[in-house]
Each structure stands twice: as C-alpha cells, then as structure tokens.
C-alpha cells in the first residue's frame, strides 16, 4: 500500500522540515518490508478565499482528488477525531493494507481545518490529542507516527510499550 502525505500549507526550510524529512526517509526505507511504500508529500498552498468555509471547501476538494480511486482510503487528522495509541494506529493502517487498499492518503488540514464532509468520507479520523498544534509540529508528529506504524508492523524495536 502506498502512503501519501497531503498537507495544506508549505513547510519552509529549517529544523522542522529536516525532522519531517528524517522520519519520512526512515518510513521509505522500512515501510516496504511490511507492505507500506512511501509515495511522497503533496503540499498545496492555503486557499485565499474570503471565508473559512470557502477555504476549507477548496482545500478539501484538492484532497478528494487524491482519493477518487475506490481502492484508495483517506486518513484524516482532525482535532475531533479519535485519539489512538500507536499500536492501535499501526493496526488500523495494517488492516487497510490487508483489505487491499492501494493508496492511503494521510491529510493534515490548514489553519481552518477540514471541511466537515471530508470526515464523513474518511476511513479514519484521528486526533493528535486535545492540544492545538502548529502546522509544522503536526507534520512532525504525523511523519513520526507513520514511521512508528511501519516499525510496529515490522516488529522493529523502535516502539517500546
């Protein structure tokens, strides 16, 4: 299964980008052993529409384009989602892989979040906890958890309970 990271907003050069790249590089190296292939990052610029609803609609439409194939699934990161432990998160990714999903798009929204209907279309809606995170930190957390999921699925000792 191919993993694609969809992000609203661009990550500038700096330590945050380096850390994201480090985790995604690890994912690219370890993922194939458990059937997860890293398909890259799709970044879009934040919408400049006048209202939050219009911005969310434009950004969500771009995300929907990536999951238009019925063999794809959407993993949405949203504050209203379910807080999962790392093993449960990895298990759900493994389940999607085992169900024959070919592409899993992990989506991080912009400052306004996601259009509410996008959560209805998602296979999983996951919260990064109850705290609010800046986009750069959210991207680091997601990249690390995707790598951690591959490590768990590979029975690698990176994750410790």
Mean pLDDT by 10 residues, the chain (161 residues): 96 95 97 97 95 95 94 95 96 97 97 92 94 92 97 87 77
pTM of the entire predicted model: 0.94
Q: Judge contact between 140 and 11, C-beta under 8 A.
A: no
Q: Check residue 132 and give its pLDDT.
A: 86
3-state secondary structure of 114: coil
Per the structure, the complete domain to which residue 31 belongs is given by 14-153
Sequence ranges of the binding site for S-adenosyl-L-methionine: 109, 128-133
Q: CA distances (Å), 25 to each of 28, 36, 61, 79, in order?
A: 5, 13, 28, 26
Q: Which strands, in side-by-side order, build the sheet including 124-126?
A: 37-44, 2-8, 103-108, 72-82, 124-126
Q: Check residue 157 and give its pLDDT.
A: 79
Q: Check residue 8 and give its pLDDT.
A: 96
Work out how many domains the chain is built from and give that number.
1
CATH number of residue 112's parent domain:
3.40.1280.10
Residue 136 lies in a domain: yes
Sequence ranges of the binding site: 109, 128-133
């Amino acid at each position: 299964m191919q993993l694609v990271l969809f992000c609203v907003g661009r990550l500038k050069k700096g330590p945050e980008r380096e850390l994201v790249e480090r985790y995604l590089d690890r994912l690219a190296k370890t993922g194939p052993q458990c059937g997860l292939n890293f398909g890259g990052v799709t970044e879009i610029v934040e919408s400049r529409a006048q209202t939050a609803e219009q911005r969310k609609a434009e950004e969500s439409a771009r995300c929907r384009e990536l999951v238009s194939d019925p063999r794809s699934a959407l993993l949405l990161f949203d504050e209203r989602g379910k807080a999962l432990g790392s093993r449960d998160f990895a298990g759900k990714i493994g389940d999607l892989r085992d169900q024959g999903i070919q592409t899993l798009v992990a989506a991080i929204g912009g400052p306004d979040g996601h259009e509410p209907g996008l959560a209805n279309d998602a296979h999983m809606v996951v919260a990064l906890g109850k705290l609010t995170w800046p986009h750069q930190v959210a991207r680091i957390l997601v990249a690390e958890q995707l790598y951690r999921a591959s490590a768990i699925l590979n029975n690698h000792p990176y994750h410790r309970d």
